[in-house]
Amino acid sequence: MRSDLRLAIITLYSICFLVFVGPFAVFRLAAGDIAIGVADSFILLVVLALAALAWNPLLTRLLANVLAAITAAGAVVVTVFLDLSPMWVFSTLVGNFLMAERPVALIVNSAMVAAIALQPNIFQDTADHATFISVASMTSLFSLIFASRVTRQRAQLYELAARDGLTGAYNRRSLDQDLTQLVDAGTKQPHCLAMIDLDNFKKLNDDLGHETGDRVLKRLARVALDSTRDDDRFYRYGGEEFALLLPRTSLADAEIALRHLNEQFHQAQPTADRPVTFSAGLAEYDPGEGPDAWLSRADGALMQAKRAGKDCYRQSSSSRTME
């Protein structure tokens, strides 16, 4: 739950249902209000069952939307058909906006409020009816604004945590996560990983200073981010070493992408600056191997490129030089 806000909200929502709706269901059954007690119990059991299923990461988003629809329908049933207080609507409004996707929450919440508002006979008088509509609308608006703000801020925080502060490239932690996710997906499509290292970077720092070195690092990251596809990922692995993940890319296409990056990087360097080159190791994912083994093969190919004279690349299974 620490990494999945939606799952945390679903879990909290189900616990609140158990704590607050459960006693009502027991009380109604004990008091002989069988219809209301059964309805409360049924809604409670459905919410708890869906919350348990939502712990499957593949189902969390879908079940959040389903849960929002069910709780909204439940609020309508107990209010309109079982003559209970419409006060249950307000907690449902807030919970749905926090839990479900915004379009889904807007639809089910609007339908819920409209279904109840179209039953004026369940309210004491016209003023009570108007008050419900006004308060429900205000609660929906504030909940929507709050949920949107939380989602946006979480996305911003995730992006900050996932990127390297100097270059803007993704960081090593993101690389580990992406490789694991790609391997765990079990796809049979080809994927390629390139490890990239700037040549003679320590000497560059010693001769021209770290400020110049930082500019070179940022230049390579900017070129990589501008010259690769949206699905490709560029990472700062550490120091002057980077990684380029090319999902759904054959080895031949990865070679083309690597050559293109090399050309763009050379063209982006000011003519007055000392030329900077990079070496790279390229490895195509071997189905069945783990992320560490894949990364190790790409790193081994990089070491071969370094030993071959730099400003070149090597494959983990064969050798080629960038021209």
**Which residues have C-beta within 8 Å of that of residue 276, sequence separation ≥ 6?**
198, 199, 200, 201, 204, 216, 265, 269
Residue with tokens 């629809």: 69
Angle between helices 34-53 and 60-76 (to 10 degrees): 170
Measure the CA–CA gap between 60 and 255, rounded to whole angstroms.
38
Measure the CA–CA gap between 143 and 141, rounded to whole angstroms.
5
- Asked whether the CA dihedral 154, 158, 159, 161 is positive or negative, the reply is positive
* Catalytic entry in 211, 240, 263, 323: 240
Measure the CA–CA gap between 95 and 133, rounded to whole angstroms.
18
The CA–CA distances, whole Å, from 272 to 205, 224, 269 equal 17, 22, 8
DSSP conformational letter for 122: G
Residues 218 and 163: beta-carbon distance below 8 Å: no
Is 289 among the residues known to form the active site? no
Query: Phi and psi dihedrals of 236, rounded to 5?
Result: -95, 115
Active site residues: 240
